[in-house]
Structure formats: structure tokens, C-alpha cells
Structure 1
Amino acid sequence: MFQKFKQKAPLLYFILSRIVTMIFLLFFLGFALFGLMELAPGDIVDQMMTQQLMASAQSGPNSSGATSGKENNFDEELLAKTREELGLDKPFYVQYFKWLKRVIVNHDLGVSLISRAPVSFLLKSRIMNTIVLNLISLVFITIFSFILGVYFSSKAGTRLDVGVTFFALFFHAFPGILLLILMQLAASITGLFPVTAYPDFPASAAPVKFTFSYIHHIFLPLFCSFLGGVGGTMRTIRATMLDQMGMPYIFALRARGISERRVYLNHAFRNTLNPYITGSANLLASLFGGSLIMEIIFAYPGVGRLTYEAVLQQDINLVLANSMFLSALVLAGMVISDILLAFVDPRIRYGADK
């Protein structure tokens, strides 16, 4: 049955197979995350105990003039009961399958072990911020990479091409975290841009003002993301264009008297889409990975910063939900890139018999 379906609809079979593969990858990723969190020293109950001890120490002696020893001596039975209530007394694989059952059957991501707020609510409040930021980065990197890559492929070997290639390599190899810190330091010294990446008032208060303020706040993080991503993508498109311009079909088109503009844009340019679409999934993954550092440095309220805070607090429900969301986005981007590649290049027939 599967073989007949594969022969009749190879592209649909490929899409469904990739979706199934993505589901299995997410399953094993969640299992690995639970295992890694189990290896971390201590747990969230220990952190609660530490925070309570610090609060008790800061409050000073009580009204009677002496602090009761019982207040600072945590009952082991109470700690064990707290772990049992949170489900932390079970092995990590039991916790994972209980969480997975709750997600699949009840469509419930659980509650944050620290704030006791629903994980879905915390995630929804940050999802759009992260998606919007990374999509804007992807669009700008794509547009400028194609424009610069195609243009400088026609200027190969010139001083301008050598200079731009040098700076593209420089910023591509420059550590992203250091670039973000330097940009934030420059913003602090000059005062031209905010040191945070998000306005200090909600969008509902003044939508138009919020839009312009948001653009002003995210300019520096976007600029850092652009500098880090455009170099490698531009060089890939430039190299592909140079490779295509040396192909026999290009000489044949020129011999037929077709203008150089049409040769570049109508023929050679179309063949640069394949390597870009293939690499766009990796670019998207690097953007989402880099946004974690950016959100921490620039105090941007996104999923990456929420994940970082959850890891520090060992809030396993929040860590797992955020990580699975980001991983699902990256895997979905890879599936979409493969589907687009099949539509762009008619020579590709996934699963079709040759």
C-alpha cells in the first residue's frame, strides 16, 4: 500500500514522511532534555529551599528577639512531599511520558513550577516576539544577500569585490555575542539607540507610537543579526552565480545574442535558488539559536530569554515547552525548504522511480 502511494504521489509521500520524521525527532529531543535536566545538580525544590533561607536571613530576628531554629531547619519529609507533589520523585523517563500524555490527551503543557502560571500562557506571551524578530532578520538577510551576491558576481576580481568579500568574511567569523555587547556599549555611550530591545509600554496603549518605538529598539539587534548572516549567504549566492556563468548553456545563450541582463536574471539567477533554499533552513536555525543570546543581552521578551530563565530555575515544564517549540520551528523550516526545493527544481522527484 505504501509503495503504491509512493509511486502515485511521490511529493506528498515525501512531505508526510518528513512530518512523521519531525515528530519522532521531537519525541527523542524531549526525552534527551528530560535526561539532561536530571543530570543537573539539585532541583527546583532545592532552589525553593535556598530562596526561603535567604529570605529568612534577610528578615533578621523575629519580634521575640530570637529566630526559631525550627524555621531554618527544613523538614526532610516536607521536602520529599513537595517533590512528590511536583512529580520530581519519579525517574526522568516516567516524568517525560506523563508530560507527553498530558500534552497529547489533554493538550495541556502543564504549569510553571516557579510561578505556577500555565506554561501555554507564558509561551503565548513570548512566541510572537521571537517569531517577528527572526522573520524580519531572515527577510533582510535574504533580500540583501541576493542583491549583493548577484551584483558582485558580475564584479568578480575587482577591488570593490575583494573589499566587500573581506568584510563579509570578517563579520561572518566575528563572534556574535561580542558584537552584541559592543553594539550595546556603543548605544550606551552615544545614546542614539536604547540599550534594551523592547519598548517600555504595551502596544495596546499607543499602537502607532509602539511601532516606531519598536523599530528604534530592535535596530541594533537586527543590525548585528544582519552582519552575522548576510556574509555567508551572500558568498554562497555569489559563488553559485560565478559557477553558473561558466556553464556551457550560458555560452550558448550568449551566442544566440541574448542580452547579458537576461542571461544573469532569467537564467543564471534561477539556479541560485537551489543552494539558498537548502541553506535557508540552517540560516533559520542559526537565527533562532542566536536570538537566545540577543534576548538575554538586550532584555528582549522572547522565548529564548524565557528558556534561559527557566533553565536557571530548573523549571522543567517551561524548559521543555520552550525548547520543543523552537525545535519544532527549526524542523518545520527544514521541511518547508525541502518542499520549496522540489517545486523550484523540476528535476527533483522525491521518492519517484527513475
Structure 2
Amino acid sequence: MFAYILKRLLYTIPTLFAISIMSFIIIQLPPGDYFSVLASKMAKESDTIANTAALEAMGARYGLNEPLYVQYWKWISGIVLRGDFGQSFEYNRPVSVLLWDRLGLTFLLSFSTLIFVWAVSFPIGIYSAVRKYSIGDYLGTFIGFVGLAIPNFLMALVLMYVSFKYFGRSVGGLFSPEFVNAEWSWARLMDFLAHLWIPVIVLGTAGTAGLIRIMRANMLDEIYKPYVVTARAKGLSEIRLLFKYPVRVALNPFISTVGWVLPELVSGATITAIVLSLPTTGPLLLRSLISQDMYLAGSFIMMLSVLTVLGTLISDILLAWLDPRIRFK
């Protein structure tokens, strides 16, 4: 196992290097760039000498007038050697500052959504399999199909309309207006928790519906197998039997999703976040791609790539620990 983990970690180095090159090239593909737009705006201002000096300093720092490979080298070497992700041209702030400003709230929201999804889908999926074709099974199936059919952003719009029209309360954002820029306190924490449940339900509906169906299908594949029948014949209690054998095997899809759970904890649901006015990283990433703010967008893509690679490694290790049938030989 240790040799496998070490080998996988070594493989991540060329993988991330290739991803960083492709990300930088893709960001540069659309015609024009933010630096050209900024230069044209500065040219129209009165202080031409100061603007020209600022543009020259920026160009020298990031090699913006150099070939693409020089720009890439300045960017990737800054990340690896100094932890410098570059400067956001649109916000005129370091990329690392912009990322950390929104990363905390994004992680809290995404982690809460993940716990909600697992806490709901896990017991419903088991119950639907054990009580196959019962009223509860049909109800869980109905909820699953509804959750899969309704887009998250549409549910957010409906919820916002109903809440404002009939209850006089806005559900947008994660804070009330008086707490948006306030320091963290008990009152701000309570306000955050009061707003948190709405985006958690909206974001978690589709994931919950999908995992309910997966859990039910996997459980139905396992509970009638000979090893389960043998364990039941030996007098093992039903609850202990379920959790020791079929549930353990049926958990594989939950563990295998760790590979995309980690990047999702950081990226968030972009469209839903825009609809609900959530101060998360998703809208910031979208804005950086639209404006071709290359260092901000490139740093986002690199971070998501690193988390995807690490998440895949973690899920493989957890699967081997959970299911003895899986080995790395």
C-alpha cells in the first residue's frame, strides 16, 4: 500500500504540470486579453505618463509582452517557489487574497451540503432496499425523481419567490445586510446559520436524489447474495447483518465520490450561487473567465486540479480499506 501511495504521489507531479500548461493555454485562446483592455482604458485617461509607467511595470513583472511560454514560466515558478499566484488585473489585488476571502464560506457551505446529502440519502437508500415496493420505497423513489428532474437554480428561484411573496423574507446571500461586512460574533454566526439551510437544501437536492437511487440499487444487489443468507441463517441480528455486510459493500459509491467532492468543496455550484447571491468562489471563477483575468482563472483551475488528484487518491485508499475485494496488486 505504501509503495502504491508513493507511486501515485510521484505521478501527480507530471500530471499537475501538464494540467497547468493546458489550463494556461486554454485561458489564452480567446482573442484579446484583460491587459489589452486595461491598456486601452488607461490610454484614454489624462495622466498618460503615469499610466504608461504602470503598464510597463506590470508587463515586466508578468512578462505580458513576452511570448506565451515566458508568461507561463513566470506564473508557475511564482506559485512553486514563492507561493505567489499573481495579480488579479480586474480587482487589482493579489489572487491569493481574493481566493482566501471566499474560500472559507465556500468550504462551510459545501461541507454542510455534503453532510446533508449523506445524512439523507444513506438511511433512505437502505430503507428503500430493505422495504422494497413499500409505501416508503415509492415515496423515496418519487423524491429521488423529483430531485433529479428539477434544476437547482430553478428550485432556488421558486424558493426565493415563495419566501419573499408569502413570508416577506429574502433568502439571498448568507448574511442579513447588517452582518455582511461585520466582524465574526455570536450574532453573526446565528445569522449565518439561519441563512445556511436554504442553499444547503437547494444544492443538496440533486445529489441526495442520485445517491438514494445508487444506494438502493447497490443494496438490492447485495442483500440476496449467498453470504448474506448464510450470515442470517447463523442467527446474526438483522441490523448487525445489514451494516456488517451489504451496507459496507454498498458504500463504495459514497467513497468513490471523494475524488470530485474535494474540488466541489472549493468551487461550489456556480449558477445556483449567482441566483442566490452567495459570496462563494463559483461566481468569482466565472467572472474571471469572462473577463479573461488569466492569473485568477488559472489559479482557480490549478487549485481544482490539485484537489481532484488528491481526492482520487484518497478515495482509492478508502475503497481498499472499506472493501477487502479491492487490492492494488
TM-score, normalising length: structure 2: 0.86
Match of 1:337 in 2: 315
Cα shift readout 1:255-294 (whole Å, capped 9, x = no counterpart): 2232322222332222222232113434555665552223
CA distance in 2, matches of 1:195, 1:145: 26
CA distance in 1, matches of 2:59, 2:39: 15
CA distance in 2, matches of 1:290, 1:304: 5
Match of 2:300 in 1: 322
CA distance in 2, matches of 1:179, 1:20: 43
Superposed, which structure 2 residues align to 1:87-236 within 5 Å? 87-190=63-166, 191-200=168-177, 201=179, 205=183, 207-236=185-214
Residue 11 (structure 2) pairs with residue 33 (structure 1):
no
Structure 1: segments with no counterpart, 5+ residues: 1-10, 57-70
Is contact 1:284-1:333 (8 Å) kept? Answer: yes
Q: What CA RMSD, in Å, does the superposition of the two structures yield over aligned residues?
A: 2.9
Match of 1:20 in 2: 10
CA distance in 2, matches of 1:187, 1:196: 14
Q: CA deviation at 1:82?
A: 7.5
Q: CA deviation at 1:25?
A: 3.0
The verdict on how the C-alpha distance between 1:83 and 1:111 changes in structure 2, with shifts beyond 3 A counting, is: closer
Which range moves more in the overlay, 288-297 or 165-174? 288-297
Q: CA deviation at 1:204?
A: 6.4
CA distance in 2, matches of 1:169, 1:21: 40
Q: CA deviation at 1:103?
A: 1.5
Secondary structure at 2:109 match in 1: helix
The verdict on how the C-alpha distance between 1:199 and 1:97 changes in structure 2, with shifts beyond 3 A counting, is: farther
Amino acid at match of 1:125: D
Is contact 1:83-1:89 (8 Å) kept? Answer: no
TM-score, normalising length: structure 1: 0.81
Which range moves more in the overlay, 239-248 or 260-269? 260-269
Amino acid at match of 2:14: F
**Aligned residue pairs: how many?**
324
Cα shift readout 1:162-190 (whole Å, capped 9, x = no counterpart): 23212202212322332233333333333
Match of 2:276 in 1: 298
Structure 2: segments with no counterpart, 5+ residues: none
**Bigger radius of gyration among the two:** 1
Match of 1:66 in 2: none
Is contact 2:110-2:268 (8 Å) kept? Answer: no
- Residue of structure 2 aligned with 1:256, choices 227, 234, 244: 234
CA distance in 2, matches of 1:147, 1:265: 11
CA distance in 2, matches of 1:298, 1:29: 31
CA distance in 2, matches of 1:189, 1:23: 53
The verdict on how the C-alpha distance between 1:173 and 1:335 changes in structure 2, with shifts beyond 3 A counting, is: farther
CA distance in 2, matches of 1:303, 1:218: 16
Amino acid at match of 2:254: Y
Cα shift readout 1:173-217 (whole Å, capped 9, x = no counterpart): 322332233333333333345222344426863521111111122
The verdict on how the C-alpha distance between 1:338 and 1:267 changes in structure 2, with shifts beyond 3 A counting, is: same
Name segments (4+ residues, structure 1) moved above 6 Å. 77-80
Secondary structure at 1:40 match in 2: coil
Q: CA deviation at 1:218?
A: 2.3
The verdict on how the C-alpha distance between 1:122 and 1:206 changes in structure 2, with shifts beyond 3 A counting, is: closer
Amino acid at match of 2:22: A
Which range moves more in the overlay, 173-182 or 269-278? 173-182
Cα shift readout 1:53-77 (whole Å, capped 9, x = no counterpart): 8x97xxxxxxxxxxxxxx6x9xxx9
Q: CA deviation at 1:78?
A: 8.7
Q: CA deviation at 1:307?
A: 1.5
Match of 1:68 in 2: none
Match of 1:274 in 2: 252
Amino acid at match of 1:36: I
